[in-house]
Amino acid sequence: MFDLADQGEKIVIRRSKKQAYTLVPVEDEDITFTKSLEERIGMALQEVKQMREGKIKELSMKELLDEL
């Protein structure tokens, strides 16, 4: 199926009588991030850097979930 889509064929996937989807190739330039998501990713990377430098405490998954 993916090879056909890569060759420009129209691929329709029917899920039910009323639901259908098309499979189309997506290029790297078609994938975009919102400004908000870019900011959140940047903040997360900064936190990881600070954890590795020992500036902030690294939390386990259990500790993170307990904070919620």
Sorted by sequence, the CB contacts under 8 Å of residue 32 that are 6+ apart come out as: none
Residue 19 pLDDT = 95
Q: Give mean pLDDT, residues 42-53.
A: 93
Q: What is the pLDDT of residues 2-43, one digit of tens each?
A: 898 889 889 999 999 899 999 998 887 778 888 899 999 999
pTM over 0.85: no
Q: How many degrees, rounded to 5, is the angle at CA 37 between CA 25 and CA 40?
A: 145
44 against 1, higher pLDDT: 44
